[in-house]
Amino acid sequence: MMKKKLITGIATLLLGVSLLTGCGSKSEKYMIATDVTYAPFEFEQNGKYVGIDIELLEAIAKAEGFTYELKPMDFSGIIPGVQANQLDGAIAGISITDERKKSVDYSNEYFDSGVAIVAKADSTLTGESDLQGKTFAVKKGTAGAAYAESILAKYGAKIIYFNDTPSMFQAVTSGNADVCFEDYPVAMYKFKTETNPELKVIGDKVTSTPYGFIVKKGANAELLAKFNAGLAKVKASGEYDAIIAKYIGK
Ligand code: GLN
């Protein structure tokens, strides 16, 4: 009798522990990383985190009924953090590339983007062909950095690395670098919101790459499915268009 009670007690305890640790439970709070200063996708405004990615994630989570905690961090830590399972997912204007597909799974694409070359507003440089012997500023771990690295030898150029977009832009403004490589919508948003833009895009976009939400490869199909289902819902409801219009216009 005593023994049976004990066994029942242990079984109840184990069940309780497995519920507490969320073993198999679907009601967890996802840890989702984002970039720190990446307007119009994520940035701080009046002490609040706002932007296209932030509002899109909010709308998708609401539509799908999941909760999450936002973790703003330097972009270079995001993909490694997802791979190492320290983060459940990330939304940070992340370009969909074949290289990254080896280590992360992407959602359906949610925004068209691509890398542009940015120079000082009064620069005489007109595009990539003028970059011989120039100094490039890039942000660590980005698609822009990968593109700059791929043409570095060809143009005998120098490269300087930064942790965030504002410091990278600043390097060009101050003349420490001749150009930087940043996603077109991010560069355009910066110019649009300034009265006297000190920088400009030169030439055409050098790549064309959409953005996707990411999770660790092969490890979080559930969150990915929720993101995709939610994305379809917010597109159908018009919420998606409203968010884009709010930050970029029609
Ligand atoms: N779209 C670029 C990339 O994925 C940059 C993203 C970012 O800086 N947040 O590499």
Instruction: Report the chain (250 residues): mean pLDDT per 10 consecutive residues.
Output: 54 49 61 97 96 98 98 97 97 97 97 98 97 98 98 98 98 98 98 95 97 97 98 98 93
Contact at 8 Å (CB) between 95 and 183? yes
What pLDDT is recorded for position 10? 52
Distance of CA 55 from the midpoint of ligand 1 (Å): 18
Report the alpha-carbon distance of residue 159 to residue 118 in Å, rounded.
Answer: 14
Residues contacting 216, CB < 8 A, separation 6+: 82, 83, 85, 104, 105
Report the alpha-carbon distance of residue 70 to residue 62 in Å, rounded.
Answer: 14
Q: Give the position, in ligand 1's atom list, of the atom nearest the Cα of 42.
A: 9
The tokens describing 116, both together, are 């542009």
What pLDDT is recorded for position 147? 98
Distance of CA 92 from the midpoint of ligand 1 (Å): 7
| Of 52, 54, 94, 140, best ligand 1 pocket probe by most atoms within 8 Å of the beta carbon | 94
Q: What torsion do the CA atoms of 238, 235, 204, 42 make, to the nearest 10 degrees?
A: 80
What pLDDT is recorded for position 24? 45
Class of the 115-202 domain? alpha beta
Report the alpha-carbon distance of residue 154 to residue 29 in Å, rounded.
Answer: 47
Homologous superfamily, domain 28-112+209-248:
Periplasmic binding protein-like II (3.40.190.10)
**Which residues contact ligand 1 via a Cβ below 6 A?**
35, 38, 75, 92-95, 139, 142-143, 183
Tell me whether domains 28-112+209-248 and 115-202 share a fold: yes
Q: Supply the pTM of this predicted model.
A: 0.89
Report the alpha-carbon distance of residue 91 to residue 35 in Å, rounded.
Answer: 8
Q: Is the dihedral of CA 92, 98, 104, 110 positive or negative?
A: positive
User: Domain boundaries in the chain?
Assistant: 28-112+209-248, 115-202
